[in-house]
Amino acid sequence: MLTKTMPELFFIHSDLDIVYANPMACALLGAESPEELTGTPLIDLVTSDYRSPLRERVAHIYGGDERTSGLNVELQTDTDQPQRAILVSSVVEWDDTERVQTSVFPIRETDADSGQLLSEQAMDQAPIGITVSDPSQPDNPLIQVNDGFCTLTGYDREEFLGRNCRFLQGEATREETVAEMGAAIEAQEPVTVDLRNYRKDGSMFWNRVTTIPIRDDSGTVSNFLGYQQNITNEKRYEQDLSLFKVQSEQSEKAVVITDSDGTIQYVNPTFERVNGYSPAEAIGRTPRILKSSQQDKEFYTELWETITDGDVWKSELVNKTKFGELYEAKQTITPVTDEKGDITHFVGMTEDITEDVLTRQTLGVLNRVMRHNLRNALNVIDGHAELLEDGELDPKSRRASVMAIREQAASMQNIGEKTAEIRSIWDRAETHERWEQLDIESLVETYQRQYPDVNITCTSGDTGDIHVRNTELFTNAIDEAITNAIKHTEQPIPEVAITVQRDLGADQFRITIADNGPGVPELERHAINSGEETPLGHSLGIGLWVMKWITTTLGGELIITDNDPQGSVITFQLPVGSSNDEFKPEK
């Protein structure tokens, strides 16, 4: 429906056929309901002398020659006496379709000397300021104003009548805008301009002035009808928004502005770099385009209830980009209200904290490894070294001590290699590479040749081409999973089942590696899934963390579950790219 900015008496029509008449319009014409007038030609509402001029004026609106037109007419009524009125027609949006609205201003039946042209009741019911001027008099003075105009400006009626309303102009009024309005009046054409005007108390306000020439049946302009709207708050918002946009263009955080319904109105360049959506792709949609499966329905319900209550929302969550990549984010959503306290917009600011999360996890794990694993290894080496120094061990015990020292040295070497591998995750993640096709079949054949005593199988359906952002890095994660499955099993014949799954319409794929080993302890699974180690819950090795960090770096998710009847299932869920997708260094 249209916004209430026009008087209370109006028709909506299409091709001159009425599609809606409001209650006051029905009452004027003696109709009991809007349906009674629906389909009635608009020209049938005026007396015969005015039908041709009305058809001509409205035709200019439909043809796009004019956006607004006014005409002085006589209306047919349910009485013997026609009603004099001014009809103002303009283009509006009605039920999401462009239509023409014709507003009706009944003319006061009084002596010409009274200075009253329009019905005071009709004018004062309008929610905006209305003025009528007389171009036949010198300087086109005002001859009528409504209550809304007096309230807007702070002047009484008597202070306006007989004067041109230019006395509302002041120091900040732009001459170019005044000239534009003057030229339109001189040419007897409709015009809308935004002016800085001044009230009686000297305060400045932004006035959106629409001036419409009113013609009689001969086409002569008899009056000018003016609409005056206070748009100060709108201008202030535009200025604030302009300044905000200038600042947000340089922001390292992704910024999105929505209306009160959550529809995106603006995104800054960082939003596009981080999420992959251009402004054209994002504007008109909602932030649900970033929704991942990592938060439940209750999370988003609480978010919406918080911001619609007028409170600021702050949280950490996992978002998903246009390419299906997951990333850790810190988000703040702030409601924006007008002078009445009503929410008009929401401003969301999101910071990609994936690297911070990985850094925190890495430091925590390495701290635990240094304190626990290395300390234990050094204690074992030191103890056996003391026994060897005593020289009292028999040959068998000496060989056992040497073997223990070598095992611990190998363990320390393995820790060093894993630490270097962690460093390689960061190095390779920062390189600028294109998405590359993953040849999983060739990879499986390599493992089958490398481990001939292990039953390694691979199952994949119609997955199409799968591209990974960094195949070399992802291969390290797969190698870690397969190597762990083979090393840690006590079964005579280790079994490793690799499955590749993908819905061709989805933006992600899954590779699962299932084994028949002892499985991953619950405490270790919890530490990996939660992303945090505690004194009572930590992963004893680095291998699982390496798999998680690689998967996170590539915008995916690592899932660890139990296998049936025994063993573990490691699932890598990653976004599906294409060879045309460029690596985005922000991720």
Q: Residue holding tokens 């309005």?
A: 181
Residue spans in the chain of domains classed CATH 3.30.565.10: 357-575
564 phi-psi bin (left φ>0, alpha ψ -120 to 50, beta other): beta
State which of 94-98, 203-207, 371-375, 425-429 shows the largest mean pLDDT.
203-207
The pLDDT-based confidence of 545 (bands split at 50, 70, 90) is confident
Share of the chain above pLDDT 70, in %: 83
End-to-end, the C-alpha distance of the chain in Å comes to 44
Is the pLDDT assigned to residue 263 strictly greater than 50? yes
Please list the alpha-helical segments (H only) found in 391-439: 395-429
CATH class of 1-107: alpha beta
Structurally, at CATH architecture level, domain 357-575 sits in: 2-Layer Sandwich (3.30)
Structurally, at CATH architecture level, domain 253-352 sits in: 2-Layer Sandwich (3.30)
578 phi-psi bin (left φ>0, alpha ψ -120 to 50, beta other): beta
Q: Give the type of residue at 128.
A: I
pLDDT tens column, 141-181: 999 888 889 999 999 988 988 999 999 999 999 999 999 99
Residue spans in the chain of domains classed CATH 3.30.450.20: 1-107, 124-230, 253-352
Task: From the options 3.30.465.10, 3.40.50.1980, 3.90.105.10, 3.30.450.20, give the CATH code of 124-230.
Answer: 3.30.450.20
Residue 401, both tokens = 């001590």
CA distance 211 to 194: 12
pTM here is 0.51
Is the pLDDT assigned to residue 221 strictly greater than 60? yes
Give the per-residue pLDDT at 415. 65
Total count of residues recorded for the chain: 587
Residue 59, both tokens = 């035709």
Pairing of strands 455-460, 467-468: unpaired
Residue 278, both tokens = 């251009």
The pLDDT-based confidence of 289 (bands split at 50, 70, 90) is very high
Nearest CA to 232 among 265, 260, 195?
195
Give the per-residue pLDDT at 536. 40
